[in-house]
């Protein structure tokens, strides 16, 4: 059987394809898309990492209610706790596995239910890791060595509240 050679002519004009209609849906800009736009303008890309400046700015924005409001409910879901601290649920699960002072209850389905005491401990861990920039190991050592760390943290929190009050008072004058 003789072999035939096949040749292709690339000089011919390509076959016109059907025009593709694009559907544009107007979306409300989300904070994530705004961050992407900001990072697209910068020359240096951080590949999803948060800078220390952004982390510092976010540390002041946690929304944990006062003690009298916090202790009205017996249990808080992990979703609510993550919203309070403005972190992902996976980070809270990681902290639960790493730190012995966090022991949330679990229901029959395995959902984590955090008591107000657990939220106070999370606030201490958040303070050590995000505000004071401890590593995980460093924060564990700090909690082991300083048995009165929770008392010191409560003192720091009350001084922060006093400072905020005085700053508001000064602004009103």
The domain ranges of the chain are 52-172
What fold is seen in the domain 52-172? Multidrug-efflux Transporter Regulator; Chain: A; Domain 2 (1.10.1660)
pLDDT in tens, 42-83: 556 666 666 666 665 555 667 787 778 888 889 999 999 999
Global pTM reads: 0.57
Per-residue model confidence (pLDDT) at position 82: 92
pLDDT in tens, 121-149: 898 899 889 888 999 999 999 888 877 77
**Interatomic CA distance for residues 71 and 151, integer angstroms:** 18
């Amino acid at each position: 059987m003789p072999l035939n050679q096949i040749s292709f002519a690339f000089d011919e004009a390509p076959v016109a394809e059907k025009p593709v209609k694009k559907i544009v849906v107007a979306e409300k800009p989300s904070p994530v898309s705004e961050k992407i736009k900001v990072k697209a303008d910068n020359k240096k890309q951080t590949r999803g990492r948060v800078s220390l400046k952004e982390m510092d700015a976010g540390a002041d924005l946690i929304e944990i209610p006062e003690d009298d409001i916090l202790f009205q409910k017996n249990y808080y879901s992990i979703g609510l706790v993550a919203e309070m601290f403005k972190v992902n649920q996976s980070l809270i699960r990681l902290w639960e596995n790493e730190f012995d002072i966090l022991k949330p209850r679990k229901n029959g389905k395995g959902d984590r239910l955090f008591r107000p005491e657990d939220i106070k401990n999370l606030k201490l861990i958040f303070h050590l890791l995000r505000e004071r920039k401890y590593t995980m190991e460093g924060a564990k050592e700090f909690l082991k060595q300083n048995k009165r760390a929770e008392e010191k943290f409560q003192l720091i929190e009350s001084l922060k509240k006093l400072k905020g009050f005085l700053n508001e008072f000064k602004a009103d004058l």
